[in-house]
Structure 1
Amino acid sequence: MTTSNLTLSVAAIVAEGATRFPDLNAITMNGVSTTYRELWEETKAYAGALKEQGITEGDRVAVLIPNVTDFARVYYAVLSLGATAVPIHALLKAREISYVLEDAEAKILVCAAGLLGEGAKGAQNSGINLLSVMEPEAGQTTRLEDLAAKAEPITTYLPRKAEDIATILYTSGTTGKPKGALGTHLALIEQTHSTLLNTMDVRQGDKLFGGLPLFHTFGQTCVLNTGLRIGAEVMLLPKFTADAALDLVLDAEIDVFFGVPTMYVALVEAGANREGKPTNLRYAISGGASLPLSVLSAFEQRFGAQIYEGYGLTETSPVACFNHVGREPRPGTVGTPVWGVDVEIADPAYPNEIRLMPRGELGELVVRGHNLFSGYLNRPDATAEAVVDGWFRTGDLGTKDEEDYLRILDRTKDMILRNGYNVYPREVEEVLTSHPEISNAAVYGVPHDKHGQEVVASVTLVQGSTLSVQELIRWSSEQMAAYKYPRFIEIVKEFPLGPSGKILKRELIAQFDQE
């Protein structure tokens, strides 16, 4: 059998759900629930409307919708037609939206009414057709809901080849313009299956915390696709705030919490001022960045559930490693490789070849397996640089021990070289967050005439703290070697965050340079 005879589709997740769990709630938002049967019927109606607008297999449809039920309806409708979904970060401005639309060569932008201020301008600037959803009544744009009410729904999804492109997700990157990572139907479906089989503890009927952005790979694959594949209920939170998240966890009886470190920091802080523990919270999953051990311990103590850390990237669909279900999680590690995926440590000094290093040695994490993306859209040079001999070079530094557990130390580009010594921001951040009055920390390097680079930290403090910068620097010097501790510390109220909730260190560096 050749790959050309294999057909599958990510849209099968919602189609099969309608057959297998028709009366279970698939998605709930603000107290309004949509069953699996209803979600598939609404998806087919949206797909029929998009089909009448000329969307067919291979076309690219941009989706600018926040964490609301319509994201799922539009996302699966696009995939049902054999088209490619191009989710766009909900906070982008018109110029940035235009870049994605033009780079992806999108045929239509489907935009939530609340985002039309920037979305409509972006579509107009790029000459892209625009449809809206969630408008209470007809406005300046054509409503997809109105079209769906008149169109003939599709009967089923269009099967695709395994290597066909399901999604184009734009990576934030540390330099240059965002690149469109091509996700195949095979990679996305295998990710849900390996996740459910023996990686994460997600069960039919579970209520999943839906606060991770659905336009990002973590929320889209691990919460939406994986949750609907097993028959869980995704409890959407349109906009993450600590109080709203805490309300949802406590009041909606969430079973599984998915979050990034900044979310856990916020929950711990909010939880300190609220009584009561969640009654059903069984399991918590963290990814996107390394979770400070102090936050992990505080969350488990406050909420009574262990956090299992994993690791992945947009290019790995996303999960490559995880502290697997059935094993006690090892704090400070991102677990072991998921089923069918190899994660090894390669020598970063040889960018054009893969030289694997012995266990325990520090090097660059490289990944190969069924979860790899198909490359970067229209960027063969960037693809060739990232994928060498079948291995994806992650750009992250770490180690792998004799039991296959991996630890992430830092991004290769984030490592600081001070007076010829390597300083790993992750290590310094762990020390800083061990201070009882520091809630989170970001460490980065800035150019220095004498030392080459100087170590700088931005920190947030717990509510009510009166710590001064001088006290923090003095305490840091007592905890770390002279070449490691930050000579400059800035106390901030909040961090600039990327689409996945990661702290944007490049913005902190830019702000520091301006001072």
Structure 2
Amino acid sequence: MATLSLAAILAENARRRPGKTALVEGELRLTFAEVWQRALARAGALTALGVRPGDRIALMAPNTADFPVAYYAVAAAGGVVVPVHLLLSPPEVEHVLKDSGATLLLVHPAQADTGRAAAQAVGVRVVVLGEEFDRLAADAEPLPSYVTRAADDPAVVFYTSGTTGVPKGAVLSHFNLVMNATVNAFDANDIRPDDIALGALPLFHAFGQTVSMNSTWRAGATLVLLPRFDAARAIELMVREKVNTFHGVPTMFVSLAAAAAEAAALPELRICVSGGASLPVAVLERFEEAFGARIYEGYGLSETSPTATVNQPCFGTRPGTIGHPLWGVDVEIARAEVEDRIELLPPGELGEVVIRGHNVFSGYLGRPEATAEAVVDGWFRTGDLGTKDEDGFLRIVDRKKDVIIRGGYNVYPREVEEVLMRHPGIAQAAVIGLPDELHGEEVCAVVVPAPGTAPDAAAITEWSKEHLGRHKYPRRVEVTDNLPLGPSMKILKRELRARYAGR
């Protein structure tokens, strides 16, 4: 049995470069040795609380030092991290805790109310990061090293709604995540130990977790955390800390390009990586002009650790594309309508993007049917439509299944529709994404009123706020007499998008 632990990323740095600054958050500066000591002390506390290898531990925290310390503590104790999205409502958090079978929730004080309410409902123990976790760590015996895990053992479970509406847990192994961090650091882009990266992407999200945190540390570089993204503050912080590496979603690049004109000074950026949603070429050009830095756009999913492709210096870069597959990963275009097998298409043809390699997940937690549907003939079917040109550059053209990407967060229309259908004044609802300059796409609900009611659009938005995560509720509501239906009685969303996009 080959053994491997995600915890080795931090443990090896503590051994090789103990005195080097690993983490900066506000006034706090920690070396690799200090972060690892903190993680081992908290791993000891987890063990004292009864955490056993393979136990799933939910982690709900913003981009403060508490997140990486707790994350590596869980890994060191042999546990499985279940990151919880910070914008979820208590019932949504409850689903994640229940579905994952989490035995403990580690929650930041800022999220403690939501976390506690959800944990109480499902009978899960809560430990608050900061004072409480520190006290437990001080009373426990720190672990001497990390617990042995097999390379294929689960390390992290990311909750992703896919297209089914109800979030499913994508199980990623130690091998998946260590390889993705390693290949991101050393093969996709040349990350060096003296680099300093800004961690502005949420660490609970696969992109922030693998690319900002794990890949930066895999290379022995420094991570500067920004708990809340604000473009002007991000620029100031990058200048002050001499940050030369930035990872972001398109909305971040939009606001940085806009804020650059007002800034007293700009950071000297060597590497910028964009992912999470399609980066409009106009945004890429505006940013590159303002900062004199190149953006490498990439693509991936929670199920692929997440990075699958990225524009890489060794292949050349091409704006408007997602570049080439990562080292050891194959990304091809398959016939989208053939479900039971993978039929690869020649260059230039439009089809479904399929992925195979060391980055493909173990499966959906407790959902063998969903896993069998997603992984066919050893290839992961992404549900995204794309093309691959003669030079091997990949392009995402559209989503097979209407997912809305608002500000880098996936919003699944069906999930929003199911909530709207509980509104007493709504008879029918269709949720679509409409182009939006700031967020890439905005969530729009097109509703048919229930007989005898006259729902007010603004009131529906307010009502939705109480029932849906902050990134999900429809900012725009359109009331109509009927929805366009196709021959199989499916709502024709493309017609709705065409009808409302220009307004």
TM-score by length of 2: 0.82
Q: Of 372, 375, 381, which aligns to 2:369? A: 381
The answer as to whether partners of 1:48 and 1:151 remain within 8 angstroms in 2 is yes
* 1:356-505 matches, cutoff 5 A: 356-414=344-402, 457-460=434-437
The answer as to whether partners of 1:181 and 1:375 remain within 8 angstroms in 2 is yes
Identify the residue that residue 70 of structure 1 maps to in structure 2: 66
Gaps of 5+ in 1: 136-142, 416-424, 427-441, 445-452, 463-495
Amino acid at match of 1:343: V
Query: What's the offset of the Cα at 1:371?
Result: 0.5
Identify the residue that residue 329 of structure 2 maps to in structure 1: 341
Query: What's the offset of the Cα at 1:270?
Result: 1.7
Identify the residue that residue 285 of structure 1 maps to in structure 2: 273
Identify the residue that residue 83 of structure 2 maps to in structure 1: 87
Q: Of 111, 116, 140, which aligns to 1:115? A: 111
Separation in 2, partners of 1:219, 1:322: 15
The answer as to whether partners of 2:88 and 2:470 remain within 8 angstroms in 1 is no
Q: Of 155, 174, 182, which aligns to 2:171? A: 182
The answer as to whether partners of 1:345 and 1:398 remain within 8 angstroms in 2 is yes
Separation in 2, partners of 1:74, 1:503: 25
* 1:141-152 matches, cutoff 5 A: 143-152=132-141
Query: What's the offset of the Cα at 1:174?
Result: 4.6
The answer as to whether partners of 1:198 and 1:325 remain within 8 angstroms in 2 is no
C-alpha change, 1:30 and 1:461, in structure 2 (3 Å) is closer
For residues 234-270 of structure 1, give each alpha carbon's deviation from its aligned partner in whole angstroms, at most 9, with x where no partner exists. Answer: 1001111222222222322211000010111111122
Separation in 2, partners of 1:101, 1:513: 36
Identify the residue that residue 214 of structure 1 maps to in structure 2: 203
Q: Aligned to 2:106, what secondary structure does the other structure show?
A: strand
Q: Aligned to 2:363, what secondary structure does the other structure show?
A: coil
Separation in 2, partners of 1:411, 1:235: 34
Amino acid at match of 1:291: L
TM-score by length of 1: 0.80
Gaps of 5+ in 2: 406-410, 414-429, 440-463, 481-499
The answer as to whether partners of 2:186 and 2:219 remain within 8 angstroms in 1 is no
Q: Of 254, 267, 270, which aligns to 2:243? A: 254
C-alpha change, 1:192 and 1:343, in structure 2 (3 Å) is same
Q: Of 25, 36, 42, which aligns to 1:40? A: 36
Separation in 1, partners of 2:133, 2:249: 33
Separation in 2, partners of 1:10, 1:309: 26
Separation in 1, partners of 2:79, 2:434: 45
Q: Of 147, 150, 163, which aligns to 1:161? A: 150
Amino acid at match of 1:335: G
Query: What's the offset of the Cα at 1:196?
Result: 2.1
Identify the residue that residue 489 of structure 1 maps to in structure 2: none
Query: What's the offset of the Cα at 1:283?
Result: 1.3
The answer as to whether partners of 1:208 and 1:227 remain within 8 angstroms in 2 is yes
C-alpha change, 1:334 and 1:461, in structure 2 (3 Å) is closer
The answer as to whether partners of 1:164 and 1:185 remain within 8 angstroms in 2 is yes
Query: What's the offset of the Cα at 1:357?
Result: 0.8
Separation in 1, partners of 2:165, 2:354: 22
The answer as to whether partners of 1:296 and 1:307 remain within 8 angstroms in 2 is yes
Separation in 2, partners of 1:458, 1:511: 15
Query: What's the offset of the Cα at 1:390?
Result: 0.8
Q: Aligned to 2:352, what secondary structure does the other structure show?
A: strand
Identify the residue that residue 318 of structure 2 maps to in structure 1: 330
Query: What's the offset of the Cα at 1:502?
Result: 12
Separation in 2, partners of 1:44, 1:250: 33
* 1:122-137 matches, cutoff 5 A: 122-135=118-131
Separation in 2, partners of 1:166, 1:214: 15
Amino acid at match of 2:150: K
Query: What's the offset of the Cα at 1:461?
Result: 7.6
Identify the residue that residue 52 of structure 1 maps to in structure 2: 48
Query: What's the offset of the Cα at 1:175?
Result: 4.3
Identify the residue that residue 105 of structure 1 maps to in structure 2: 101
The answer as to whether partners of 2:185 and 2:216 remain within 8 angstroms in 1 is no
Separation in 2, partners of 1:51, 1:284: 39
Amino acid at match of 1:243: A
For residues 380-410 of structure 1, give each alpha carbon's deviation from its aligned partner in whole angstroms, at most 9, with x where no partner exists. Answer: 1111111111110001111111221101111
Q: Aligned to 1:168, what secondary structure does the other structure show?
A: strand
Q: Aligned to 1:7, what secondary structure does the other structure show?
A: coil
Identify the residue that residue 230 of structure 1 maps to in structure 2: 219
For residues 78-125 of structure 1, give each alpha carbon's deviation from its aligned partner in whole angstroms, at most 9, with x where no partner exists. Answer: 111111111101222221111111100111101111111111111111
The answer as to whether partners of 2:2 and 2:151 remain within 8 angstroms in 1 is yes
Q: Aligned to 1:320, what secondary structure does the other structure show?
A: strand
For residues 65-88 of structure 1, give each alpha carbon's deviation from its aligned partner in whole angstroms, at most 9, with x where no partner exists. Answer: 110111111111111111111110
For residues 164-223 of structure 1, give each alpha carbon's deviation from its aligned partner in whole angstroms, at most 9, with x where no partner exists. Answer: 000001014354111100000111111122112220132102110100010110011111
C-alpha change, 1:503 and 1:124, in structure 2 (3 Å) is closer
Q: Aligned to 2:73, what secondary structure does the other structure show?
A: helix
C-alpha change, 1:71 and 1:22, in structure 2 (3 Å) is same
Identify the residue that residue 194 of structure 2 maps to in structure 1: 205
Q: Of 3, 20, 36, which aligns to 2:16? A: 20
Amino acid at match of 1:68: T
> RMSD over aligned Cα, in angstroms?
2.7
Query: What's the offset of the Cα at 1:455?
Result: 9.8
Separation in 2, partners of 1:146, 1:271: 43
Q: Of 341, 348, 362, which aligns to 1:353? A: 341
Identify the residue that residue 479 of structure 1 maps to in structure 2: none
The answer as to whether partners of 2:254 and 2:438 remain within 8 angstroms in 1 is no
Identify the residue that residue 8 of structure 1 maps to in structure 2: 4
Separation in 1, partners of 2:309, 2:478: 34
Query: What's the offset of the Cα at 1:379?
Result: 1.0
For residues 295-345 of structure 1, give each alpha carbon's deviation from its aligned partner in whole angstroms, at most 9, with x where no partner exists. Answer: 000000001100001111100101111111344321011111111111100
C-alpha change, 1:175 and 1:267, in structure 2 (3 Å) is farther
Query: What's the offset of the Cα at 1:512?
Result: 3.6
